[in-house]
Amino acid sequence: MVAVLVLSAALVLSAAAVALVTLRARRRTSCLRNAFRCKIAVAERPGGAAERWPRQTCYGLWVHDVLVLFSGVARSHVQPYAVHFAEGAVETSPMQVKGLGPWPVMLAMQLDDGRHALLAADRSAGALVAGPFLAALMPTRKPVT
């Protein structure tokens, strides 16, 4: 009976420790300076169109011209995307992207390997989505007067 209690206590403490480490890792990633919640759809082959949004949101961070995405339960899966240039401007999207709220902002990009990608982020991300591509913050349409 004592062995069962000791093993149960050890199991509960281990589960609590794992939960604490996971939560701490998630919080550290989301609190990184200039990190923003996003999703990215990448074309399967060069010249193709970006087709599908992933199910889970992740956190993105620009490091020079590389978009680094942190995903997974503990945000331990890191995926870098080397971006060649931004195609157009950061614009508000009329279509909804699940997990990013209404009217997300989007940026079309071409990666260094020739594939096209579409980055969607919550509206609160604002200028962080453009990263090093400051020209993408310029509006593409003339304002109506």
Angle at 34 between CA 114 and CA 123, to 5 degrees: 80
Both tokens assigned to 18: 């794992």
pLDDT digits (tens, 9 = 90+) for 61-118: 999 899 999 988 767 788 999 999 998 888 888 788 888 888 899 999 999 998 999 9
Looking at residue 29, its pLDDT comes to 67
The residues facing 91 across adjacent strands are 106
Residue 30, classed as helix, strand or coil, is helix
Task: Tell if the pTM clears 0.85, that is, is over it.
Answer: no
Residue 45 pLDDT > 60, yes or no? yes
Looking at residue 30, its pLDDT comes to 66
